[in-house]
């Protein structure tokens, strides 16, 4: 009972409204309770370290500043609470990076303008959606795990798949709230609903048509990095 109450408490904190954001460690522990493996992202340089929009990684021209794994790599993602506490105690402002695929959620991301259009269309269809992550430039819909074979069959059936539409499956990653990256604050456009179990996720088949259609008619305002 104590463990279940602890999970619910973390979920309430994550959905708390107002200017105060939940600490990255608290959000990372919530992911662990959901069995979502996470790692700290590379983040941005510390204050006084130069241009705050540049990445803390060694690449001076990084196209996704702060919004990617570096050390540790995405393969180190875990749900182990002791490891998460150690990471975020040493780097309390590190972004939260979800390792997608396997038993963890996958995701489909698209430019923010296309994302807003796609969500409006899916709502019109009364489609049940899971959590949606938003940055100033891109939105990511979390979906149930899929395989490369399943994804290949879905995309083969499409007339055209815009390059701005990206699929985050096995070996991929998505940055989660309340991370801060070079493009700005990461937030929930559709927050996970509170509860003791992991958030419900739709199958990719249910949303891919609307995402392809929205991406076809919207410019890509995000980075050109494919991942």
Q: What is the pTM of this model?
A: 0.82
Is the preceding omega at residue 84 within 30 degrees of 0, hence cis? no
Strand partners, 38: 78, 98
Q: What percentage of the chain reaches a pLDDT higher than 90?
A: 53
Q: Report the residue count for the chain.
A: 227
Evaluate whether 109 touches 210 at the Cβ level (below 8 Å): no
- Domain residue limits, the chain: 2-216
Report which of residues 215 and 51 the model is more confident about: 215
Query: What confidence category does residue 7 fall into, taking pLDDT thresholds of 50, 70 and 90?
Result: very low
pLDDT in tens, 93-146: 999 999 999 999 999 999 999 999 999 999 999 999 999 999 999 999 999 999
If DSSP codes are grouped into helix, strand and coil, which group holds residue 187?
A: strand
Query: The tokens of 75 are what?
Result: 């393969």
Note the pLDDT of residue 99.
Answer: 96
**Strand bridging mode 173-176 / 96-99:** antiparallel
pLDDT in tens, 47-87: 534 444 689 898 888 888 888 888 888 999 999 999 999 99
Short-list 132, 54, 43, CA closest to 96: 43
Query: What confidence category does residue 171 fall into, taking pLDDT thresholds of 50, 70 and 90?
Result: very high
Furthest-apart CA atoms within the chain: distance in Å: 52
Q: Measured at the alpha carbon of residue 114, what is the angle toward residues 40 and 134, in degrees to the nearest 5?
A: 25
Note the pLDDT of residue 47.
Answer: 58
């Amino acid at each position: 009972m104590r463990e279940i109450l602890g999970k619910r408490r973390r979920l309430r904190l994550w959905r708390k409204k107002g200017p105060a954001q939940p600490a990255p460690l608290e959000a990372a522990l919530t992911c662990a309770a959901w069995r979502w493996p996470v790692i700290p992202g590379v983040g941005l340089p510390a204050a006084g370290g130069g241009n705050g929009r540049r990445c803390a990684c060694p690449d001076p021209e990084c196209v996704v500043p702060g919004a990617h794994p570096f050390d540790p790599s995405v393969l180190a993602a875990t749900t182990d609470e002791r490891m998460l506490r150690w990471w975020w105690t040493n780097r309390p402002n590190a972004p939260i990076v979800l390792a997608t695929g396997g038993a963890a959620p996958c995701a489909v991301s698209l430019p923010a303008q296309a994302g807003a259009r796609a969500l409006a269309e899916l709502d019109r269809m009364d489609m049940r959606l899971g959590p949606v992550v938003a940055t100033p430039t891109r939105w990511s819909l979390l979906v149930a795990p899929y395989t490369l074979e399943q994804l290949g069959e879905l995309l083969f059936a499409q007339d055209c798949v815009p390059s701005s539409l990206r699929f985050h499956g096995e070996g991929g990653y998505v940055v989660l709230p309340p991370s801060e990256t070079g493009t700005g604050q990461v937030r929930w456009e559709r927050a996970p609903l509170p509860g003791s179990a992991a958030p419900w996720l739709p199958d990719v088949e249910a949303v891919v048509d609307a995402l392809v259609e929205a991406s076809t008619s919207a410019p890509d305002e995000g980075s050109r990095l494919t991942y």
